């Protein structure tokens, strides 16, 4: 049997991760054009990094909920299983979904990537504390400097 599961922000809301458009969603009090676009990053990279830093901390402090765990159980009992999620958090993975059975279509908030040189790094491993992961205002790679950001829908080019 083949199973395809699609999830969005609602599945992680029970873990305390705000949705974007819901009652207490991010975009109720924040302007997405000031935080989630290439122009916003070019104007104020510090503001964008601060926002992503807050989101990363919130995700690290969250725990997978019953929905994440139920989907993981289904994945483990099905050979042909695929989870396609809009979520950039890692709660499905921490809930037990194997990487080969999951696609994060909007990216992973813990991956920093440069679109020009394709440098990429994972800024957090579940086996370490978030502080030990080295949360940086800007990644230390000389190739990335202020133009790198979490690998989500928009990637930014490094300085040359």
Catalytic residue positions?
106
CA 96 from centroid of its chain's CA atoms: 17
Nearest-CA neighbor of 93 among 70, 120, 68, 113?
68
Report how far residue 160's alpha carbon sits from residue 94's, in angstroms, rounded to the nearest whole number.
Answer: 37
Could you identify the residue written with the tokens 């890692």? 90
CA dihedral 127, 90, 157, 20 (to 10 degrees): -140
Residues 6+ apart with CB under 8 A from 157: 114, 115, 116, 147
Angle at 8 between CA 7 and CA 14, to 5 degrees: 100
């Amino acid at each position: 049997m083949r199973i395809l599961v699609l999830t969005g922000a609602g599945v992680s809301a029970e873990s305390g991760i705000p949705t974007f458009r819901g009652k207490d969603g991010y975009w109720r009090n924040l302007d997405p054009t000031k935080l989630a676009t290439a122009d916003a990053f070019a104007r104020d990279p510090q503001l964008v990094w601060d926002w992503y830093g807050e989101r990363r901390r919130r995700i690290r402090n969250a725990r997978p909920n019953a929905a994440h765990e139920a989907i993981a159980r289904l994945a483990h009992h099905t050979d042909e299983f695929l989870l396609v999620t809009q979520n950039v958090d890692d709660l499905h993975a921490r809930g037990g979904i194997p990487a080969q059975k999951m696609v994060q279509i909007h990216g992973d908030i813990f991956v920093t990537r440069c679109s020009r040189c394709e440098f990429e790094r994972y800024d957090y491993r579940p086996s370490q504390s978030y502080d030990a992961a080295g949360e940086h205002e800007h990644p230390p790679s000389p190739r990335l400097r202020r133009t790198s950001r979490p690998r989500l829908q928009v990637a930014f080019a490094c300085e040359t």
